[in-house]
Amino acid sequence: MGRGFFGGEGFIMQKMEGDGMAFMHAGGTVIERELDLGEVLHIDTGCLVGFTRDVDYDIEMIKGVRNMIFGGEGVYYARLQGPGKVWIQSLPFSRLADRVLRSSKNYGRGSGKGEGSVLGGLGDLLDGDNW
């Protein structure tokens, strides 16, 4: 129950078994990591894509008040202990959506951000649409 309530992503763990090919959706770069027997990996809960059946999965509270307040990733992280394979994503959907939303608030005329341009705001003045 603790994994679902405090895991950061809710109750969306699914078990896959059998022969054949499985497809999983992930964002950003996906890293496959082989954990040795007893090796422990701590990651943000939203970055976990999947793991093999021999990996021991649990969640732990982040230690230290400074880490909880200023860490930016929440109060809990996933603890994975080998042996087995783990797949990690660099950009979970929740972070991608947050970035798109923040970017859309700054998009449009008069934002002054000039993202993507070496000229910055000067490029907005010279693009011809404001004349």
Is 65 part of a structural domain of the chain? Answer: yes
Residue 119 lies inside a defined structural domain of this protein? no
Describe the chain by its helix, strand, coil percentages, rounded to 5.
25, 25, 50
pLDDT number for residue 69 = 61
- Say what the pLDDT of residue 39 is: 97
Q: How many domains does the chain have?
A: 1
C-alpha separations of 110 from 16, 100, 115 in Å? 50, 18, 12
Residue 70 belongs to domain spanning:
2-12+21-93
pLDDT, residue 130, reads 47
Residue ranges for the chain with pLDDT beneath 70: 1-12, 64-74, 106-131
pLDDT score recorded for residue 66: 61
- Residue 117, pLDDT score: 47
